[in-house]
Amino acid sequence: MSEQTTQYKPSITIADQQAAAGKGAREFMMDVRTTDLEVNMGPQHPATHGVMRILIRADGELVTGAQPHLGYLHRCAEKIGENVEWLQYLPYTDRYDYLSSMNNNLGYSLAVEKLLGIEIPRRASMIRTICVELNRIASHLVAFGTYGLDLGAFTPFLYCFREREWLLMLFEKICGARLTYSYLRIGGVFNDAPPGWLEEVEQFCDVFDEKWVEYRDLLMMNHIFIKRTADIGVITPEQALDFGLTGPMLRGSGIDWDLRRDMPYMLYDEIWKAGVYQIPLGSGAQGVLGDCWDRVYVRVQEMVESIKIVRWCLANIEPGPTIAELPKVLRVPPGEAYVGIENPRGELGHYLVSDGGKVAVRCRVRGPSFCNLPILEDIMPHTFLADSVAIIGSTDVVIGETDR
């Protein structure tokens, strides 16, 4: 046999990983010769949830290497943060992870408030918690619905978007925008909830509690869905820690960690001590611990935990001011602070440096999608090409945040 394929030069270079390095031709079944083929998945591929390109090297049906290529949506958010005033940067935070803008607003506001050292009125914290948890549900609904869509289940997607539409309508009522809210401001929230809004949220909770059971059974317990996700894309707890995974990706591997409970901010400590919510963990119920099914099921369970937090807030909210007194042009005292909060996708961190002026010296954003993505380089090799969509979808990546 001639070595006609030895000239093949792989453009994927993955160091430290012998198994994924191209070995060229392989011989199967006497004289059937297969060779590695590079397939571009994306940038315009429906299953990459945005404009991400994954260069997959496949030997027949077997994936031998995968490399995400980012940057198609890079908007220099960190550079903008060094050029606009503290309050003016808030709308840019909406645009990293556009499915959970309330959470992004909160992360930035908490970081600036830490530098300012100000107290937030209790009613503002309550409304913040309600909005953030509702946004977590909306975000998980998209994750859950589109994951079904990726795997060929069209119906759950429609139901999920129906409920999400209701949530977006509630957000529109409170702040006027459907996706880019800029509602949680430095010092509190922009304005008080309109009359009747809290009752509408309660109605949503009542309906969602019933529907949630149906959605769970419709997709998560579906035999085909289980076959396509269980035992696929397994992330071991050691890998999850080494790669710095956070959020449902970490909890899907059975590691009990949630910033809301373990490093509480706002009112979460009080809510946890009242025994309101639980932290769902992956258990390997349908396959191996840390597989795609576990990660998705953690998200599904988190939705109903968020509903419990919202209900607690609705029961305990009291009238009062909704924003702290702040000057029009904000000057932040010199110093540096890092604040990490639990976003739907993991830990959203803001590292801010101030020199006492009107503009930040450094505005670093640690996006959970960006940090949860490199695991693909490790878990995708030695899987089947048909499973790659299931694995990518289970990371629940939002490209706005990886590229920022």
Sequence-separated (6 or more) residues with CB below 8 Å from residue 154: 148
Residue among 291, 305, 347, 401 that touches another protein (CB under 8 A): 347
Nearer to another protein, 174 or 371 (CB): 371
Residue among 19, 37, 39, 76 that touches another protein (CB under 8 A): 76
Task: Report the C-alpha gap between 145 and 131 in whole angstroms.
Answer: 21
| Residue 340 found at the interface with another protein (CB under 8 A) | yes
Task: Report the C-alpha gap between 99 and 380 in whole angstroms.
Answer: 26
| Residue 78 found at the interface with another protein (CB under 8 A) | yes
Alpha-carbon torsion 48, 54, 60, 65, what sign?
negative
| Residue 115 found at the interface with another protein (CB under 8 A) | yes
Interface with another protein by CB under 8 A: which range of 86-94, 219-227, 305-313, 350-358?
350-358
| Residue 307 found at the interface with another protein (CB under 8 A) | no
Number of chain residues interacting with another protein (CB under 8 A): 50
Task: Report the C-alpha gap between 242 and 47 in whole angstroms.
Answer: 26
Strands 335-343 and 346-354: antiparallel
| Residue 241 found at the interface with another protein (CB under 8 A) | yes
- 7-33 burial, b for 16+ CB within 10 Å, e for fewer? eeebebebeeeeebebeebeeeeeeee
Secondary structure of residue 327 in the 3-state scheme: coil
Q: What is the DSSP letter of 120?
A: P
Residue among 217, 334, 357, 382 that touches another protein (CB under 8 A): 334
| Residue 273 found at the interface with another protein (CB under 8 A) | no
| Residue 162 found at the interface with another protein (CB under 8 A) | no
Nearer to another protein, 170 or 249 (CB): 249
| Residue 364 found at the interface with another protein (CB under 8 A) | yes
| Residue 370 found at the interface with another protein (CB under 8 A) | yes
Nearer to another protein, 33 or 75 (CB): 75
| Residue 321 found at the interface with another protein (CB under 8 A) | no
| Residue 341 found at the interface with another protein (CB under 8 A) | no
| Residue 153 found at the interface with another protein (CB under 8 A) | no
Nearer to another protein, 195 or 327 (CB): 327
Interface with another protein by CB under 8 A: which range of 77-85, 204-212, 279-287, 390-398?
77-85
| Residue 58 found at the interface with another protein (CB under 8 A) | no
Give the residue carrying structure tokens 């600036």: 112
Nearest-approach distance from CB 166 to another protein, in angstroms: 35
Residue among 178, 273, 362, 382 that touches another protein (CB under 8 A): 362
Task: Name the strand (E) or helix (H) holding 338.
Answer: strand 335-343
CB atoms within 10 A of CB 169: 12
| Residue 8 found at the interface with another protein (CB under 8 A) | no
Task: Report the C-alpha gap between 399 and 248 in whole angstroms.
Answer: 17
Secondary structure of residue 185 in the 3-state scheme: strand
Sequence-separated (6 or more) residues with CB below 8 Å from residue 45: none
| Residue 197 found at the interface with another protein (CB under 8 A) | no
| Residue 257 found at the interface with another protein (CB under 8 A) | yes
| Residue 28 found at the interface with another protein (CB under 8 A) | no
Q: What is the DSSP letter of 84?
A: S
Nearer to another protein, 118 or 177 (CB): 118
| Residue 176 found at the interface with another protein (CB under 8 A) | no
| Three-state SS letters, 339-392 | EEEEECCEEEEEEEEECCCCECCEEEEECHHHHHCCHHHHHCCCCEHHHHHHHH
Burial group, residue 356, by CB count within 10 angstroms (0-12, 13-18, 19+): exposed
| Residue 66 found at the interface with another protein (CB under 8 A) | no
Residue among 74, 162, 178, 273 that touches another protein (CB under 8 A): 74
CB 384 within 8 A of CB 61: yes
Nearer to another protein, 59 or 258 (CB): 258
Bridge partner residues of 228 (DSSP): none
Nearest-approach distance from CB 176 to another protein, in angstroms: 32
Q: What is the DSSP letter of 72?
A: T
State the residues that interact with another protein by CB under 8 A.
13-16, 70-71, 74, 76, 78-79, 82, 114-117, 241-244, 246, 255, 257, 262-263, 332-338, 340, 347, 349, 351-356, 361-362, 364, 366, 370-371, 373-374, 403-404
